[in-house]
Amino acid sequence: MSLLSALSIVCGLMLQLNFSLLSAEYCVPRKTVFYQSNLKLFKEDGIFNYSTMLIRDDLGVLLLGAREAIYALDINNISVQKAAVYWRVPEEKQRECTYKGKHAEVECRNYIRTLHSLNDTTVYVCGTNAFSPTCDYMTFANGQLTLKGKQEEGKGKCPFDPFQRYSSLMVGNDLYSATSINFLGSEPVILRSSSLALRTEFKSSWLSEPNFVYMDFMGESFDSPDGDDDKVYLFFSENAMEYDFYRKVAVSRVARVCKGDMGGQRTLQRKWTSFLKARLDCSFPEPSLPPIVQDVFLLRHKDWRKSVFFAVFTPQSSLSQVSAVCAYTVSAIRGIFNEGKFKTSVAVETSHVKWVMYTGEVPVPRPGACINNVARKMGMNHSLDLPDKTLQFIRDRPLMDEAVHPLTGGPLLLKRGPLLTRIVVDSVLALDGETYNVMFIGTENGYVQKAVNFDGEMFIIEQIQVYENPVAIKILRLSSSKGQLYAGSESGAIQMPLCNCGRYQSCEDCILSRDPYCAWDSSTQQCSSVYSLSASPKTAVQSLKEGNVSQCPSPGPIAAVDLALIPGNNIQLPCQLHSNLAQVHWRFSDLHLQTNNKYYIYSRGLLILNTSTSDAGLYFCDSVEQINSRIYNRTVAVYHLQVFEPTVAVSPSPGITVTKYFIQTSKTATTGSQPDLESEDLPMAENQSDTGKISRLKVAVALLSLFCLSLIGVILWLWKQGHWKCFGFAQNSKGSEGKRPSADYTHIKNRNSEIKLLGAEAGRPCTANNNHTAVDFKGNGEYHFPPLANIASLDGLGYIHDESEI
Ligand SMILES: *[C@@H]1O[C@H](CO)[C@@H](O)[C@H](O)[C@H]1NC(C)=O
Ligand SMILES: *[C@@H]1O[C@H](CO)[C@@H](O)[C@H](O)[C@H]1NC(C)=O
Ligand SMILES: *[C@@H]1O[C@H](CO)[C@@H](O)[C@H](O)[C@H]1NC(C)=O
Ligand SMILES: *[C@@H]1O[C@H](CO)[C@@H](O)[C@H](O)[C@H]1NC(C)=O
Ligand SMILES: *[C@@H]1O[C@H](CO)[C@@H](O)[C@H](O)[C@H]1NC(C)=O
Ligand SMILES: *[C@@H]1O[C@H](CO)[C@@H](O)[C@H](O)[C@H]1NC(C)=O
Ligand SMILES: *[C@@H]1O[C@H](CO)[C@@H](O)[C@H](O)[C@H]1NC(C)=O
Ligand SMILES: *[C@@H]1O[C@H](CO)[C@@H](O)[C@H](O)[C@H]1NC(C)=O
């Protein structure tokens, strides 16, 4: 078992190395930040489904809706609960719900799905309430959350089914909602609950088994030369009517209604007269069924025409593992609705209906248009005045012929691996004076991807694991003013800062991160947030589009670490890169080292097997990273191997600073069979070069390499069949994002001796950060050898912690 797991780990490593060569690297997050327990988390025992949020900056709270509970949490630290209120389902109601065939403990509970601000003191709340949606008013005053107990009918405002997606929006005192209005969930509706309630016509040409995801408001009457009205935009997917296909195909849509709509007089009475919809296009690199919109975020611009909707799409077929983000400007969507052609249905043969472009005459006022100056000139002041001709036209033809195309023609981001679920976007003013849109995208396995698109170049700055378990992120909210991101899942809510520039410790690392929030502050020698630069920005360095590190102070010479070489021993030279996009290159006296029967290059360093005196010399570990088609090559570690001769003084080579490192071993990790590293006695070399053991290892490594090479061959062949422009090896991201170390990995981890470097220069890559250095040099002629003896058994490949550490 342990052999198998070790095998899979080693192969994982080898495959990974090879695939990073093939992948268009922008699709792989540059940095992976694993779960950190200092993340601010909120959850209450016994409460689940934290999936509704409302940020109330004015009250300093985040309102969080969960199953049968609503919380007011401190907006600066959501671990601090300021108040809570519980809204449970009465027993009788729950019984009623189970009689109707629903699951008592799952569906027959009250899931809070709606939280909308009404005014400074009151919030509108709706819950599924055991398949009997109900709404209420809630206040937050004197540190207390109070439900008013109004028990308003929630049908059409909130879904019956807690698993059904829906969307709603409060505009003034009007609630716009898109959900199912019946118990079975079969009657979809887009409803405005107001003094003049309006809804969609119940026709499959209007809505066909829709899945509603997002709604937002756009104040288009502002500064409008044609006297246009404000609008509500809605994003959803539904069964396509425009495709001739042997089975149902879903498509993504954007629809809109006008705020001032009052319905028609005779035709479309109490129905929308301004409901128009169009297909949303977001083409994936490979021909496939239309992708499905999962979430949308509206990034508002001062000029509403330039506001942009960012949408996350996932494939329709579960076979594919590619997600995308596409963006659409409000003016592009308006263009289609205001000027585009309509689709119309024509009967083909007997019962079959086909949707084609309508080429006949379009009545005036234009069907679906809001009341504007054109209509007013014709004496029509509201939709009730619209002529039947216009209304009949729109009742039968709500679909536009042309699709809305993304801003950049194609996706802003394509990512292979665990599917993307939710998105929010922040715009950041960088030092170059440009504004960058930074996307924060939740995944189905508890990660947040932080990504940007630099003039067409897709780039994932980092992926941050925000949940310990791989749960889907169900909601994301952003507070630009607080610089915080809030996420919710079944198991709890978390809060994380939008940037953590301190993660980047050197100038090069700070620049190469290409994080618009971060710049290298030369005066403090720190990677700092652009909002908190100490001195004038003149001393700060940032290079987002180019990733040009030439302005960084030239890094001093890398200190060579002296290591003793005992012929016949194995030796391990640690070197860990700071980027998932970088490749490690090892050099030894003009030789470019490759994994073979002598060298083994793995993610954390180099292993030299059965050393001899000819292996003495300088070893360089280079990090080679491709940023924007340019290669950045920097040496991150140097080792000086010298044949062990205790009497000979060490003389440093010219140009190389020799630093003396003192190594302390932690006692707990040293197992009995290993040399006693605490003692001052020289360990016997023979103990570590047991030839029998080494040859066993060599055979194992060779076999493994063969096995992995054949695997690589197969996958290379598979890869050649497709032609992904953006190929982030699925297993790669899945493996490293999703899986937690299993018991097997943990057991390998525990065998590893922890040896800590003391006195290493802070911030120097591969030294200060590395607490697994295995070889030791004290500089006083006394040498201590690492617990490499155990390496011979595969079980003891202690240097691999788990496959996620790549
Ligand atoms: C947030 O609140 C929790 C709970 O009160 C506390 O333990 C933690 O230290 C706080 N974190 C910060 C950064 O203030
Ligand atoms: C807020 O709205 C609620 C419900 O509509 C209403 O009862 C209350 O008076 C309003 N409060 C203020 C301060 O406007
Ligand atoms: C709520 O959370 C529970 C526990 O994680 C989960 O089993 C259930 O599917 C969730 N319900 C919904 C509607 O997401
Ligand atoms: C429309 O409004 C204008 C000015 O507000 C008014 O003069 C006109 O009579 C109205 N037309 C109708 C049909 O109500
Ligand atoms: C990097 O920046 C320096 C000066 O800031 C400039 O001279 C150099 O041409 C740039 N290099 C690239 C590849 O853009
Ligand atoms: C990186 O730089 C070193 C010298 O600075 C050079 O020897 C090595 O070949 C370079 N590697 C690559 C991949 O360019
Ligand atoms: C190393 O092996 C020698 C015999 O080859 C033995 O005497 C000695 O005790 C061993 N030392 C350790 C630390 O295991
Ligand atoms: C180690 O190398 C020496 C020669 O350098 C060789 O004689 C010996 O057989 C090697 N040992 C193993 C286990 O391969």
Q: What is the pLDDT of residues 261-284, one digit of tens each?
A: 999 999 999 999 999 999 999 988
CA–CA distances in Å: residue 631 to residues 18, 153, 511, 625: 18, 62, 14, 6
Distance CA 606, CA 599 (A): 7
| One domain, residues 319 and 435 | no
Q: What is the pLDDT of residue 536?
A: 63
Can you spell out the DSSP letters for 431-461?
TTS-EEEEEEEEETTSEEEEEEEETTEEEEE
Ligand 1 atom 7 nearest Cα: 79
From the CA of 608, the nearest ligand is 8
Structural tokens at position 167:
């969307």
Q: Which of 74, 73, 253, 728 is nearest to 449 (CA)?
A: 728
Is residue 613 in contact with ligand 8, taking CB distance under 6 Å?
Answer: no
Q: Is residue 750 part of a domain?
A: no
375 and 242 in a common domain: yes
Are both 425 and 375 inside the same structural domain?
Answer: no
What is the DSSP code (8-state) at residue 674?
A: S
| Beta-bridge partner residues of 444 | none
**CATH at 335:** 2.130.10.10
Amino acid at 299: L
Q: Report yes or no on 548 lying in a domain.
A: no
Q: Which residue, of 473, 491, 509, is where some domain finishes?
A: 491
For the segment 710-728, the average pLDDT, to the nearest whole number, is 38
Is residue 717 in some structural domain?
no
Count of residues for the chain?
A: 806
CB neighbours of 784 closer than 8 A, spacing ≥ 6? 663, 665, 675, 677, 683, 776, 778
Closest ligand 6 atom to 587 CA: 7
* Over residues 365-379, mean pLDDT: 95
Per mean pLDDT, which range of 202-206, 359-363, 366-370, 718-722 is the poorest? 718-722
Range with lowest mean pLDDT among 29-33, 212-216, 279-283, 678-682: 678-682
The residue among 137, 164, 191 that closes a domain is 164
Domain of residue 300, residue span: 165-341+368-417
Same domain, yes or no, for 46 and 104? yes
Provide the percentage of residues in the chain whose pLDDT is more than 90: 62
Same domain flag for 97 and 219: no
Q: Does residue 49 line the site of ligand 3, with CB under 6 A?
A: yes
Give every strand in the sheet of 231-239, ordered side by side: 211-218, 231-239, 250-258, 276-279
Ligand 6 atom 1, closest CA: 633
Ranges of H-type helices in 397-435: none
Residue 655 covered by a domain: no
Q: Which atom of ligand 1 is nearest to the CA of 77?
A: 1
User: Does any ligand 3 atom lie closer than 6 A to the CB of residue 490?
Assistant: yes
Domain of residue 574, CATH code: 2.60.40.10
The reply to whether 763 falls in a domain is no
Domain annotation covers residue 440: yes
* Residue 676 placed within a domain: no
Q: Is 243 found in the same domain as 197?
A: yes
What pTM did the predictor assign? 0.79
* Tens-digit pLDDT profile for residues 425-451: 999 999 999 999 999 999 999 999 999
Judge if the beta carbon of residue 104 lies within 6 A of ligand 1. Answer: no
Q: Which two tokens stand for residue 128?
A: 């599924």
Examine the pLDDT at 722 and tell me if it is beyond 90.
no
- Interval 52-74 mean pLDDT: 96
Q: HSE on the CB side for 553, CA within 13 Å?
A: 13
Residue type for position 146:
T
Regarding whether 511 and 480 lie in a shared domain, the answer is no
User: For position 508, which CATH number holds?
Assistant: 3.30.1680.10
Only one residue has tokens 């802070």, namely 762
The answer to whether residues 394 and 203 touch, using CB atoms and an 8 Å cutoff, is no
Tokens of 132: 């009997």
Mutate to test the pocket of ligand 7, among 566, 676, 686, 690 (most ligand atoms within 8 A of CB): 686
Lowest model confidence (mean pLDDT) among 228-242, 459-473, 722-736: 722-736
Pocket test for ligand 7, best of 566, 684, 688, 690 (most atoms within 8 A of CB): 684
Q: Is residue 777 helix, strand or coil?
A: strand
Q: Is 38 near ligand 5, meaning CB less than 6 Å away? A: no
Please check whether residue 786 lies inside any domain of the structure: no
Q: Looking at the DSSP assignment, which residues form a beta bridge with residue 72? A: 63, 83
Residues with C-beta less than 6 Å from any ligand 6 atom? 585, 587, 622, 624, 633
Please say if the pLDDT value at position 746 is more than 80: no
Residue 531: its pLDDT value, please? 87
Q: Who lines ligand 2 at CB under 6 A?
A: 118-122, 137
The CA distance from 163 to 144, in Å, is 30
Nearest protein Cα to ligand 3, atom 6? 490
Residue with tokens 């909210």: 477
Same domain, 295 and 373: yes
Q: Estimate to the nearest angstrom the gap between the alpha carbon of 508 and the chain centroid.
A: 24
Shared domain for 119 and 233, answered yes or no, is no
**What is residue 535's predicted lDDT score, i.e. its pLDDT?**
56
Q: pLDDT tens-digit profile of 98-120?
A: 999 999 999 999 999 999 999 99
10-14, 161-165, 670-674: lowest mean pLDDT where? 670-674
Nearest 5°: phi and psi at 318?
A: -75, -5
Q: Which of 481, 515, 541 finishes a domain?
A: 541
| Ligand 5 contact, 546 CB (< 6 A) | yes
Nearest ligand 6 atom to the CA of 592 is 9
d(CA 219, CA 691): 78
Residue 284 confidence (pLDDT): 87
User: In terms of domains, do 188 and 322 share one?
Assistant: yes
| pLDDT value at residue 537 | 63
**Atom 7 of ligand 2, nearest CA residue:** 122
Q: Is the pLDDT of residue 743 over 70?
A: no
pLDDT range class, residue 11, cuts 50, 70, 90: very low
Task: Examine the domain organization and report whether 132 and 227 are in the same domain.
Answer: no
Q: Which residue from 678, 687, 784, 788 has its CB within 8 A of the most atoms of ligand 7, so it is best to mutate?
A: 687
Q: Residue 320: what are its φ and ψ, rounded to 5°?
A: -90, 150
- The b-or-e profile of 37-51 (16+ CB within 10 A means b, else e) is eebbbbbeeebbbbb
160 lies in the same domain as 171: no
Q: In the chain, how many domains are there?
A: 5
> Residue 397 phi/psi, 5° resolution?
-140, 70
